Every structure is written in structure tokens, then in C-alpha cells.
Amino acid sequence: MTDHLWGVRAELAEAEFMYRFNADASATAREALGMDALRLGGGVLTLVREDPTGGYWNKAVGLGITEPLTGELIEEVLARATTHGVPALAFQVAPHAEPAHHARLLEERGLTPGTAFVKFFGPLPATLPGRTDLDVRPVRPEHAAEYARIIRTGFEMPEDPAMEAWFAEAPSYDGDWWTVGAWDGDRLVAVANLFVHGDVATLSGAATLPEARGRGAQGALMAARLREGAARGCRWVSTETWPESPGHPNPSQHNMRRLGLTELYLRPAWVFRPAG
């Protein structure tokens, strides 16, 4: 499988994860946060009107992969976001998206480059490193509140009861979902998610409390998720993280490299902020 095909599979797996994380939320969460998710243009659009982060959960993902990212499609997405009343929206468009001049189409409609992420993909490794002195095991619903707090804290998101209640639903999801955590004694200090899309294990939503960092929690949680993915028939791994820079190391990026995953590309987010 070529890097291009890996990129296609990685984008579609992430798109399905984003769609399901929104669509699988309870009616209570969806009403409280003003959530909606839809499929269009071969990708997905997730909308969260009451997004306390200012726009992180509003995304267009997977566009330009199986269908061209046309000016008309961009305008449809912008219109839907504006009508829904979101604070901001990010188009996460892969470098190989069609047409090749998609960046110009986005710029012409007022979007600006934002935060970039490194996309990783590769075969599920036979050897899974990940040693830690912490106790790694699945997160059950009785630990939902702790799980939600760690995700919010790890991603430096603002305190918001409705958002944390949404996050707290994840340990109760079944089917394609699996949550796992690392305990220091009886205290949950790190958590992570697995979403299975066909034969692709999608790694997402991992966080460690600041005081527990440096103990191998995320490497161990990554290995645990891949073992679970293998048991569910996965053959491939997809994930992403922010790129490290001088003075700002990213342990997640090193963990992904140790697994033998391939850094496919750096993908910028194109940001739209509705007028007013």
C-alpha cells in the first residue's frame, strides 16, 4: 500500500471517528451543546454550537478524498456552520486532497491557516513496546467523571459541565469504542480511546495528568489499544498529533515513531470564523 493510499485511509478513518464521537452522544449532550453531525462531499461535518473551546469540536474532515473539494462544497459547509451558530470551524484538508489547488479555494473564501497536525499511519506492529509502573486496564462507567476530567485537563480545555458530561459518556460506548486507563494505586491518572473503523485502529483522545507524566503511561496505553485492536481484527493504525518544535517536545510523536508508524504529512487546519 502506497503512502497516498495510506493517507486516504487515514483521513477516512479520522472522519468516521469525528462523526461518530458527535453522533453517538446522548440526546442530553447533543441538546446541551447544540451538536449536529452530517456526511457531505465524501467527508463529514461536525457542529457544536455551545463549544466552550471556541471551535475545536467544529470540523470538516475527509473532504477532497473521495470527491473533489469544490468551491460550492466549501460554501455549503460555511453556510451550514453560520446557520448553526458555531464560534469557529476548521477544515482539516490533507495535502493530497483534490483538487490540487484546494488551498487557493479556501483562501478565496476567507479561510486562514491555523494549527497543523502530523498524520501517522502504518501496519499494526507485531511488537508493542510500552512499559510502565502504572496499572493499565479498561475504564468502566463508574470512572466516567474522572475520565472526563483527565481528558479536559490534558487537552487544556476550559471547565464546562456540559462538555465534561459529554466526555463522560465515552466509557459507556460499546461496539467500535474502547476506553483504557492507567492507575497509580486507586487513582486514575491517564486515559485513552480506541475507535475501530473496519480494519483500522484509530488512536484518539489520550491524556495524562501533569503530575503523572514521564512514567510511560501513554506508551503503555498505546500498546494496550493496539492489542485490543488486533483482537478485533485490525491490521492498520491511524493517529495524529501536534508537531514538536525546539523547546516544545511531544512525547506522543516519539511513541508513534517507536511503533514504526509512518509520518505521512503535516496537515494544516483552515479556520473559518463567522462574522459577528
Dihedrals φ, ψ of 220, to 5°?
A: -70, -40
3-state secondary structure at position 205:
strand
What's the pLDDT at 1? Answer: 60
What's the pLDDT at 162? Answer: 98
Q: Which of 221-259 are b and which e, b meaning 16 or more Cβ less than 10 Å from the residue's Cβ?
A: bbbbbbbbbbeeebebbbbbbeeeeeeeeebbbebbeeb
Q: How many CB atoms lie within 10 A of CB 131?
A: 9
Instruction: Express each pLDDT in 81-123 by its tens digit.
Output: 999 999 999 999 999 999 999 999 999 999 999 999 999 999 9
> Is residue 170 domain-shared with residue 231, that is, in the same domain?
yes
> Is residue 104 domain-shared with residue 144, that is, in the same domain?
no
Q: Is the peptide bond before 249 cis (omega within 30 degrees of 0)?
A: no
What's the pLDDT at 250? Answer: 83
What's the pLDDT at 225? Answer: 96
Work out the burial of residue 87: count CB atoms within 10 Å of its CB; fewer than 13 is exposed, 13-18 middle, 19 or more buried.
middle
> Is residue 235 domain-shared with residue 196, that is, in the same domain?
yes
Distance, in Å, from the CA atom of 7 to the CA atom of 122, rounded to the nearest integer, reads 10
- Residue 100 covered by a domain: yes
> What's the half-sphere exposure (Cβ side, CA atoms, 13 Å) at 193?
28
> Is residue 232 domain-shared with residue 112, that is, in the same domain?
no
- Residue 158 covered by a domain: yes
Q: Angle 270-201-89 (CA atoms, 0-180°, nearest 5)?
A: 20
- Residue 77 covered by a domain: yes
- Residue 194 covered by a domain: yes
Q: Which CATH number is 52's domain given?
A: 3.40.630
> Is residue 72 domain-shared with residue 147, that is, in the same domain?
no
Domain of 42 in residue numbering reads as: 3-118+266-272
3-state secondary structure at position 12:
helix
Task: Give 10-residue mean pLDDT values along the chain (276 residues).
Answer: 88 98 98 99 98 98 98 98 98 97 98 95 86 95 98 96 98 96 98 98 95 93 95 97 84 86 96 89
What's the pLDDT at 51? Answer: 98
- 139 vs 26, 38, 105, 179, 189, CA distance in Å? 19, 29, 43, 6, 11
Distance, in Å, from the CA atom of 230 to the CA atom of 222, rounded to the nearest integer, reads 12
Q: Residues 165, 167, 170, 171: is their CA dihedral positive or negative?
A: negative
Cα Rg for the chain, rounded, in angstroms?
18
- Residue 259 covered by a domain: yes
> Is residue 13 domain-shared with residue 81, that is, in the same domain?
yes
- Residue 151 covered by a domain: yes
> Is residue 254 domain-shared with residue 185, that is, in the same domain?
yes
Number of domains in the chain: 2
What's the pLDDT at 276? Answer: 65
Cβ(42)–Cβ(65) below 8 Å:
yes
Helix H or strand E encompassing 173: none
